[in-house]
Amino acid sequence: MDLATLCALMLVALMPLLYFAGSRRGRRRDGDRLPPGPFNLPVIGSLHRLGSLPHISLQKLSRKHGDVMHPKLGRVSAVIISSARAASEIFKLHSLQCSSKPSLICSKYFGNDSSGIIFSSYTPQVKLYRKLINTHLLSPARLRICDGIRRAASLDPSATSREIRCSCAKTYRLFGERSFCGSSQEFVRAIVETIRLVGIFNVSDYIPWLRWLDVQGLEKQYKQLTDKLNRHLFSILRDRRENPRVVTTDEEPMAFIDVLISMDELSDTTKITLLLITQDILLGAVDSSALSVEWAMAELLRHPAELSRARREIDDVVGSQRLVEDSDLPKLRYVEAIAKETLRLHQVTPLINPKLVEGGPIKLGGFTIPAGALVYLSSYAIGMDEKFWKEPLEFRPQRFIEQDIDVFGQNFHFVPFGTGRRVCPGAKLGLDTVRIGVATLVQGFDWELDQDPAKLDMAETFGLVCQKTQPLVAIPRPRLDSHVY
C-alpha cells in the first residue's frame, strides 16, 4: 500500500476526530513568519501529497510555494530547500544548527540508537569517525589496492547483480578479504534491503501515536534486518579477535575493521559502536555508484552521438592495447562531464536525509524556521532549476565542458553528495568510481539493445537511493583484442 492510499484511509477513519483537531497555536510574535506551504489537512498534514516519488512531488509544490517551503508532515514541521540561493544561506549561516540528524524509528534500529555516522547528531565523535574513514579507508594507498578489483568487476558481463558487483571493492576495503564478496552475499542483500527501507517515509515518525499499530509494517522489518546485520557484524568481530591480522606493508594496508579493533585506547563498547560504522559506510556506498553507472550507460545508449564522442576521447588518450586506468581520468574530460551530467539528471539521493534545527529558531530568506523542524535539501529540485540549467530535462554532458562546476558541495547549484558539515566523506571516490566504470564499459565493449533506444524505460523507484525501475539489459560485445582483457 503506497503512502497516499494509506493517508487517505487514515483520513476517512479519523474524520470524526478531525473536528476536535483544530489548531491551538498561539499568535506568533511579529517577524516570526513561517515559510509558505501547501494547505495541510488535520492530523496528516501534507503526507498524502508525497506520492511514490516524493522528490518530484515536492519539486512541483515548490514551484508554486517557493524555494523555501513549509509543509507539515503529520505533527512535524518540515522545510524543503529547493534552490541554490536558499541552500547557500542555510548551510553557510546556520551550518552548525543544521548538522544533526533527527531521531527516526529506523535510526533506533540501524543506527544503534542514533549513533554512528548516518543517523547521529553532530558530535565530536562524528568528527573522529570521519577522520578515521579518510585516513584508513579512503587513503591513496587503500584506493590503489582496490583499483584492480573495481575494474575487474566492471569488466565482468556475467556479474548481473549490481549491488554485489558494486559492493565488492568497498567490502574489500572494509574487511580486507576479496572472498568476502562471494561468501557473504546474504549480508550485502540485507544492506541493500536496509537502503530500501530507510528511504520509505514511515508514517509513525510523523504521527507518533500510530507507532503501536505499525501500519506500514516497517518496524517489524527493521527488527528482522537489524538482527540479520548484527549477526554478520558480530561474527566478523569475533573472527577478527580470535584471528588477528598482522600489520601489512603499504602494498596491502591493514583493513579498516582491523584498524578499529586494534585501537587499544578504546573501550569494548566504543569498538562495537565503531564496528557499526562499517554498516553505515556500506549503507552509504553499496549500490549508489553502480546505479549511477547504470543510469549513465542508459543515457549513452539513448544518445549514440555522446557515446561515440566519449569512445573517441578514450581511444585517443588510452589507445586499444591496454585498459583505461585511474591515472587516465584527469585527461578524460568528456567522461567526467558524462558522470557529472548523470549525477545531475539522475540524482541517486534526490532528497538529502533531513537535518534537525537545533539551538532555537533560525532566519532564512526573511522567514523563521522553528527549532525542531526538519530541513530537507532537495538536490533534485536544485539540479532541475531552469534559472541555472538550460534544458534541465535533457542529457547534455557538454554543459560541464562549457563551465567547470564543483561536485563536492562548494557550488550550491550542484549538490549530489550533499553539502555542509555532513557532506558525504566518500564523494571523490564515488565520482571516480562512476568515471572509471563508464570509461571501462565504453572502451571495452560495443553495446546492443533488444529494443529501440528511444523507447528505453527510464522510470525510477524512490528510496534512500533512486534506481531504475526496470534494470538496464544490454548485450556487450568485446571490441578490443582478447589479451587486453
The torsion angles phi and psi of 377, rounded to 5 degrees, stand at: -95, 115
Confirm or deny that 168 is annotated as ligand binding. Answer: no
Read off the C-alpha cell for 427. Answer: 564523494
The torsion angles phi and psi of 369, rounded to 5 degrees, stand at: -100, 115
Q: What is the C-alpha to C-alpha distance for residues 436 and 254, in angstroms, rounded to an integer?
A: 25
Q: Are 439 and 324 in contact (CB under 8 A)?
A: yes
133: left (phi over 0), alpha (psi -120 to 50) or beta: alpha
Read off the C-alpha cell for 137. Answer: 579507508
CB-based contacts of 190, cutoff 8 Å, min separation 6:
225, 228, 229, 232
Helix (H, G, I), strand (E, B) or coil at 225: helix
Nearest in space to 193 (alpha carbons), one of 117, 112, 286, 103? 286
**DSSP β-ladder status, 460-461 and 445-448:** unpaired
DSSP 144-170: HHHHHHHHHHHT-TT---HHHHHHHHH
Angstrom distances, CA of residue 34 to CA of 26, 372, 374: 14, 13, 13
CB-based contacts of 72, cutoff 8 Å, min separation 6:
37, 40, 45, 46, 78
Torsion of CA 85, 88, 90, 91, to 10 degrees: 160
Residue 101 CB-half CA count within 13 A: 20
Angstrom distances, CA of residue 138 to CA of 11, 132, 142, 170, 295: 49, 9, 6, 10, 25
CB-based contacts of 239, cutoff 8 Å, min separation 6:
none
Nearest in space to 247 (alpha carbons), one of 171, 176, 168? 176
Q: Are 179 and 208 in contact (CB under 8 A)?
A: no
Q: What is the C-alpha to C-alpha distance for residues 295 and 467, in angstroms, rounded to an integer?
A: 8
Looking at the chain, the number of H-run helices and the number of E-run strands are 20, 11
Q: What is the C-alpha to C-alpha distance for residues 417 and 407, in angstroms, rounded to an integer?
A: 7
Residues annotated in a binding site for heme:
424
Residues annotated in a binding site:
424
